[in-house]
Amino acid sequence: MKAAPVAALAPAAALGGCAGVQSALDPAGPQAAAIDRIGWIMMGGGAAIFVLVLALTAWAILAPEARRGWLGKPEIVTWGGIAFPAVTLAALLLYGLALAADIVRAPGAQPLRIEVIGERWWWRVHYLADDGGAAVVSANEIRVPVGRPVEFILKSPNVIHSFWAPALGGKLDMIPGRENRVVLEADRPGIFRGQCAEFCGEQHALMAFAIVALELEDFDRWLTAEREPAASPESAEALRGREVFAAFGCGACHAVAGTDAAGIVGPDLTHVGSRLTLGAGTLSNNPRNMIRWIAESQAVKPDNLMPAYAMLGADDRAALAAYMESLR
């Protein structure tokens, strides 16, 4: 492509980044809207000051000396170079600090609390059981109710990750030995993409997640279903897949509630069939990609902790994938 057509595409590409599932410029909740607002205030203020400085500079250079007025005096440095930036930056700092305090403040009575733990390279998700029900374990996908603030408790057992779903707010680092908290709220249903925002190793770029905002009753229904143990597979192929799962020791790393599989190294698979993606946002979740992930996980996402099960025959792979997809 020549330079001109590429340049012509640039504005379209830039605007394309303003909408969509992972854009801070398309806020889907009050925290994200507040961050969006301060972003535009800084952008607008910065642009106005930039234009003002350019105009004054042009005036100082081009105007006849007699007409430069106070621009030629040393006071311009005191007022324009010290007083003005000090006042503007102090005001911005106070506004920003107040906003930050607002965003991390815990919501009122009985908040929904979700613990998210940065793993290598995926997200362990615990819905904490404040409502008296059992805690729910999931991975790489976080469902939240619309219109209810959710307190996220962010942790890491290994290196620093950063939890960021731009359309909802954030971002906040997950630091080993610390517990960071952020409150996010979705004001409309939808799927919002999040991404690890701190380099955490070679597959950092493939460490994504989805926040799925559901209407309150849909969320309650989903959470109740999510507490149930895994459904027993119905098809003969999926039943055989369950045997393959046991025979190849998958349960040493993965848990499937209601079965002997209770591993905690990798993601909980009790309801893996209902998730949108595999490998933390790496592949969309369908039987073909499930087979690919099982057999070639080290090619798809090198150095992740799951070995590639290339030794499985085609029938075993398909059966195992059928079992996984049946876990809804």
Q: Mapping DSSP to helix (H, G, I), strand (E, B) and coil, where does residue 165 land?
A: strand
199 contributes a contact to ligand CUA by CB under 6 A: yes
Q: What is the dihedral of CA 184, 200, 256, 229, to 10 degrees?
A: 0
Among 207, 214, 295, 318, binds ligand CUA (CB under 6 A): 207
In the list 68, 126, 148, 204, the residue contacting ligand CUA (rule: CB under 6 A) is 204
Shortest separation between residue 77's beta carbon and ligand CUA, angstroms? 44
Nearer to ligand CUA among residue 136 and residue 200 (C-beta): 200
Say which residue the tokens 């109710």 belong to.
145
Nearer to ligand CUA, 119 or 316 (CB): 119
The strand ranges marked E within the chain are 112-118, 123-127, 136-139, 141-145, 150-155, 161-165, 169-174, 180-184, 190-195, 208-214, 277-278, 283-284
Provide, rounded to whole angstroms, the least separation between the CB of residue 22 and ligand CUA.
15
Distance in Å, CB of 195 to ligand CUA, minimum: 8
Q: How far apart are CA 296 and CA 314, in angstroms?
A: 13
**Nearer to ligand CUA by C-beta: 270 or 282?**
282
CB-CB contact of 233 with 324 (8 Å): no
Positions 38 through 77 that interact with ligand CUA (CB under 6 A): none
Min separation Cβ 205 and ligand CUA, Å: 8
Position 121 contacts ligand CUA (CB under 6 A): yes
Closest to 34 (Cα-Cα) out of 84, 90, 86, 105: 105
Q: Per the omega criterion (within 30 degrees of 0), is the bond before 171 cis?
A: yes
Residue whose pair of structure tokens reads 């997200």 in the numeric block:
123
SS3 237: helix
- CA quadruple 73, 76, 79, 82: dihedral, nearest 10: -120
196 binds ligand CUA (CB under 6 A): yes
Q: Does 198 sit near ligand CUA (CB under 6 A)?
A: yes
Look at residue 31 and give its three-state secondary structure. helix
φ and ψ at residue 24, rounded to 5 degrees: -70, -15
Rule CB under 6 A: say whether 213 interacts with ligand CUA: no
In the shown chain, the binding pattern of residues 219 to 248 toward ligand CUA, with x for contact by CB under 6 A and - for none, equals ------------------------------
Among 155, 161, 292, 317, binds ligand CUA (CB under 6 A): 161
CA nearest neighbour of 189 among 138, 130, 148:
148
**Closer residue to ligand CUA in complex, CB, 154/294:** 154
The span of 52-60, 140-148, 192-200, 216-224 binding ligand CUA (CB under 6 A) equals 192-200
- Measured from the CB atom, the residue of 200 and 290 that comes closer to ligand CUA is 200
Q: Choose between 161 and 301: whose C-beta lies nearer to ligand CUA.
A: 161
For residues 29 and 184, the answer to whether their CB atoms sit within 8 Å is yes
Among 32, 116, 183, 200, binds ligand CUA (CB under 6 A): 200
* Least distance (Å) between residue 165 CB and ligand CUA: 14
Report whether 168 contacts 192 (CB < 8 A): yes
The number of beta carbons lying within 10 Å of the beta carbon of residue 176 is 12
Given the rule CB under 6 A, which of 56-64, 100-108, 198-206, 261-269 is the region that contacts ligand CUA?
A: 198-206
User: Which positions lie near ligand CUA, rule CB under 6 A?
Assistant: 118, 121, 161, 196, 198-200, 204, 207
